[in-house]
């Protein structure tokens, strides 16, 4: 069975799951993350993101942007190129106390074969009757950050609109809110991002005319229009900047991603909450050349020998920061349980106001 054929079955299974209101892992494409610095550091950046990607990781830290305008773009290929993941963002300073931004995220599998009409009315296989469709997830995020109280403290938030579509079979529209805070004192950074604080609601609509025949033939119940809710998630973290000398610096950061919907397959879990630790480090030479490493995604996976083994998702990365352009690369999920690794590239443009 080819990778794309497998995706067809995955898509149909997903439709069935959504129809029955399974919400623990809804909108998972929004948990992948954006930016390549974060990917190289195991997604442990809630307390240190200081570029355009802060809108996703911690909107409050958008206030740290040194440039009046920033533009950024990222492209990643997932599952050996079967899926594509793209991010684009823009941020701009409103004044000395506030910053705003916008992010767009697209995750999708394109050109999925639709073999429902493979066999014609005469019972013959006709490959010319195969069509294709795409499974696309889109998110539009609007960010705002503002300094309050003492200068080191800032707060921020995001409003996000989610649009999901599985060919002509189903589509959904959703809405959610994130709230965050950032505190910086000398060499210590602290960050908090409360994602989906209100619960992100997705209203699913199914095309029964397209689905009914195939679901009945496979002895599945035709899904009904439903509401899917993404439960809140809290990400908290801290880091410390070690300035070795005038040229070299070293920054480690630890994040905890905490969910409150019961036990998940994480390193730390209970009936009340599950915690996924993330750890990353970044070494810098004159703030121009960066080397990064990180690890996250600790999970216990059953092997073919009916044994359980712990897996994680380590990553490494490198970055170069020129005067107005920054380029980052990361290789992630090295040796992960899925057997696939991910290449990610990110480019960022910085603009200052005219004098």
The tens digit of pLDDT for each residue in 231-287 reads: 899 999 999 999 999 999 999 999 999 998 888 888 888 888 999 999 999 999 998
Q: pLDDT > 90: what percent of the chain?
A: 42
| Rounded average pLDDT over 298-321 | 85
Is a pLDDT exceeding 60 seen at residue 9? no
| Model confidence band, residue 340 (pLDDT cutoffs 50, 70, 90) | low
| Model confidence band, residue 25 (pLDDT cutoffs 50, 70, 90) | low
Tell which wins on pLDDT, 180 or 16: 180
| Model confidence band, residue 24 (pLDDT cutoffs 50, 70, 90) | low
User: What confidence tens digit (pLDDT) does each residue in 77-109 have?
Assistant: 877 778 889 999 999 999 989 999 999 999 999
CA angle centred on 81, ends 86 and 326, rounded to 5°: 40
d(CA 336, CA 345): 20
Is a pLDDT exceeding 60 seen at residue 8? no
State the residue for tokens 């599985």.
Answer: 166
d(CA 292, CA 57): 17
Domain residue ranges in the chain: 3-351
- The DSSP symbol for 53 reads T
Token duo for residue 231: 């439960």
CA angle centred on 277, ends 35 and 259, rounded to 5°: 90
Among candidate residues 103, 105, 44, the one with its CA nearest the CA of residue 70: 103
Token duo for residue 132: 């294709």
pLDDT of residue 341: 64
d(CA 128, CA 318): 46
d(CA 113, CA 296): 34
CATH, range 3-351: 2.40.160.40
pLDDT of residue 221: 72
Tell which wins on pLDDT, 30 or 7: 30
| Rounded average pLDDT over 51-72 | 91
State the residue for tokens 């999920």.
Answer: 333
Is a pLDDT exceeding 90 seen at residue 331? no
Residue 108 main-chain phi, psi, to 5 deg? -160, 155
């Amino acid at each position: 069975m080819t990778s794309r054929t497998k995706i067809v079955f995955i898509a149909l299974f997903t439709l069935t799951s959504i129809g029955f209101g399974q919400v623990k892992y809804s909108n998972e494409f929004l948990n992948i993350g954006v930016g390549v610095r974060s990917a190289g550091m195991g997604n442990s950046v809630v307390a240190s993101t200081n570029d355009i990607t802060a809108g996703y990781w911690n909107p409050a830290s958008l206030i740290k942007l040194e440039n009046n305008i920033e533009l950024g773009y990222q492209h990643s290929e997932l599952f050996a190129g079967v899926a594509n993941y793209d991010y684009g963002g823009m941020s701009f300073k409103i004044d000395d106390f506030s910053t705003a931004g916008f992010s767009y995220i697209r995750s999708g599998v394109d050109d999925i074969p639709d073999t429902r009409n493979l066999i014609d009315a005469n019972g013959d296989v006709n490959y010319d009757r195969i069509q294709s469709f795409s499974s696309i997830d889109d998110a539009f995020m609007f960010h705002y950050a503002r300094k309050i109280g003492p200068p080191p403290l800032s707060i921020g938030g995001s409003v996000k609109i989610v649009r999901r579509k599985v060919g002509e079979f189903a589509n959904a529209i959703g809405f959610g809110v994130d709230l965050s805070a950032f505190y910086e004192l000398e060499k210590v950074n602290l960050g908090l991002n409360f994602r989906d604080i209100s619960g992100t609601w997705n209203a699913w609509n199914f095309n029964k005319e397209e689905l009914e025949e195939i679901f009945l033939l496979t002895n599945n119940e035709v899904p009904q229009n439903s509401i899917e809710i993404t439960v809140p998630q809290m990400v908290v973290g801290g880091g410390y900047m070690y300035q070795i000398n005038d040229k070299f610096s070293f920054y480690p950061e630890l994040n905890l991603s905490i969910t409150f919907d019961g036990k998940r397959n994480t390193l730390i879990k209970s009936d009340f909450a599950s915690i996924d630790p993330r750890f990353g480090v970044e070494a810098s030479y004159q703030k121009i050349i960066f080397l990064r490493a990180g690890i996250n995604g600790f999970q216990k996976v059953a092997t073919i020998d009916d044994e359980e083994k712990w897996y994680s998702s380590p990553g490494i990365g490198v970055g170069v920061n020129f005067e107005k352009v920054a380029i980052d690369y990361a290789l992630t999920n090295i040796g992960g349980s899925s057997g696939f690794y991910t290449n990610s590239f990110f480019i960022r443009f910085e603009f200052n106001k005219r004098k």
